[in-house]
Each structure stands twice: as structure tokens, then as C-alpha cells.
């Protein structure tokens, strides 16, 4: 499975909001999701040389065929997609997704926790929990156990 990360400002405030009806926007975002799941993003296709039949797409998206055809026609005119015998290509695919490519830093992959040395309860350090010193689990049992700071690699 893949993530389809939408650039929310472009999605909520861009021209697509005004150029397409809610039903057409739904079909367009479904096409983006299919393109993301494709072996060959940004293409929506059965394989590298074969397009999905429109009837299959309408069935897969659980929409009427006329809504699919209408959306494809409008999106082609607006240069949001292109279509040929190999499939549908979502144009500007990266634009619709999160386009910022950030360098990962160690800080982005490391989170701070406070851990109880007795019951190993973890509390993620945040503005709310930064001052927490006593383990909440142990304090329920009447014990005052001091939490210890711990850095954890998240692998994000």
C-alpha cells in the first residue's frame, strides 16, 4: 500500500475546487489514488502497455459510466490528465501530492520519551508532558517512581 499525500492548500484553494463538481473532484482524486497504487505512477493502467477499460474503471470506482466519461473529458480539456492506448496519466501528479522533498535529519527520526524504570511505561515528551516527573502508572499504585529521559529512533 502507498500513501497519497495531498498538498492541502492546492487541493482546498486551487482551481480544481471551482473547475470540477464535487462528483468530478471525487473521480479525479480516485484517479490520483489509482495512479499512486500503480506500478508505474502517475499512470492508471493494467500494465505498462495496456489501459484499463473505462467500464472496469467505473466499476472499480463504483460510479456511473457517464460520470467517469464526463470527468475524463473535462480533465483532459483542463490538462489535468492525458489518455492514450496505454492508460490515463495524471499530469502534474507531484504537484497534487506533497511536493516538498525534505532532507531527513536525525531530529526528525528521533523522539523523546520519559520511561519508568520500574514498569517501563513510556510518556512521549511534549509541551504537555515535559514537566511530568512521576510515572502515572506507578502513582496509581501508590508509588512515586521518577521517569527517565529516553531517545527512541522512529524510522519514519
Give the Cα separation of 25 and 18 in Å (integer): 10
In CATH, the number for domain 8-96 is 1.10.10.10
Model confidence band, residue 104 (pLDDT cutoffs 50, 70, 90): very low
Per-residue pLDDT, 22: 94
Give the Cα separation of 140 and 137 in Å (integer): 5
How do residues 75-102 score in pLDDT, each as one tens digit? 999 999 999 999 999 998 887 766 444 4
Q: Does the pLDDT value for residue 130 go beyond 80? A: no
Residue-range domain boundaries for the chain: 8-96, 106-153
Which of 16-30, 72-86, 140-154 is the least confident region? Answer: 140-154
| Cβ–Cβ under 8 Å, residues 140 and 122 | no
- Identify the DSSP state of 137: H
Q: Does the pLDDT value for residue 21 go beyond 60? A: yes
Amino acid at each position: 500500500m502507498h500513501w497519497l499525500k495531498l498538498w492541502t492548500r492546492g487541493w482546498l484553494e486551487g482551481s480544481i475546487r471551482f473547475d470540477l463538481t464535487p462528483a468530478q473532484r471525487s473521480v479525479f482524486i480516485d484517479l490520483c489514488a489509482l495512479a499512486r497504487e500503480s506500478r508505474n505512477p502517475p499512470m492508471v493502467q493494467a500494465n505498462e502497455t495496456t489501459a484499463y477499460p473505462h467500464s472496469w474503471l467505473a466499476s472499480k470506482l463504483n460510479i456511473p459510466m457517464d460520470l467517469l466519461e464526463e470527468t475524463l473529458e473535462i480533465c483532459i480539456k483542463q490538462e489535468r490528465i492525458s489518455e492514450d492506448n496505454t492508460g490515463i496519466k495524471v499530469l502534474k501528479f507531484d504537484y497534487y501530492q506533497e511536493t516538498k522533498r525534505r532532507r531527513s535529519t536525525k531530529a526528525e527520526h528521533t523522539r523523546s520519551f520519559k520511561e519508568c524504570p520500574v514498569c517501563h511505561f513510556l510518556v512521549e515528551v511534549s509541551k504537555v508532558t515535559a514537566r511530568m516527573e512521576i510515572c502515572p502508572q506507578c502513582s496509581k499504585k501508590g508509588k512515586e517512581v521518577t521517569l527517565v529521559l529516553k531517545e527512541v529512533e522512529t524510522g519514519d
